[in-house]
Amino acid sequence: MFDSPFYELNYFIRVGNFCFLIKWKLAFLTLFLLLFYRNAFCWPGTVAHPCNPSTVGGRDGWITRSGDRDHPG
């Protein structure tokens, strides 16, 4: 499926006061789960970040569908 041995996927998940970074390296079939305290890792910024609910939008920091009907999702 993927030719590069260095292909990896990164996901950030916020649960309460903690952020989880899930790093999935497809080539080595390993799953790494790193735990960072929210204040140390997920700081408030100007860029929308899944661990900063004030920049994601929607209720309780959930990512909501676009109001633009030309670009749904």
Question: What's the CA gap between 9 and 32, in Å, rounded?
Answer: 11
Check residue 59 and report its DSSP letter.
G
Cα–Cα distance for residue pair 73/37, rounded to 1 Å? 30
Enter the pTM of the model.
0.25
Write the pLDDT tens digit of every residue in 10-61. 667 777 777 666 666 554 444 444 444 444 455 554 344 455 445 444 444 4
pLDDT of residue 31: 43
Pair of tokens at residue 8: 């990896």
Q: Output the pLDDT for position 14.
A: 74
Enumerate the domain spans of the chain: 8-61
Residue 23: per-residue pLDDT: 65
The pLDDT value recorded for residue 32 is 46
Per-residue pLDDT, 26: 53
CA distance 11 to 25: 12
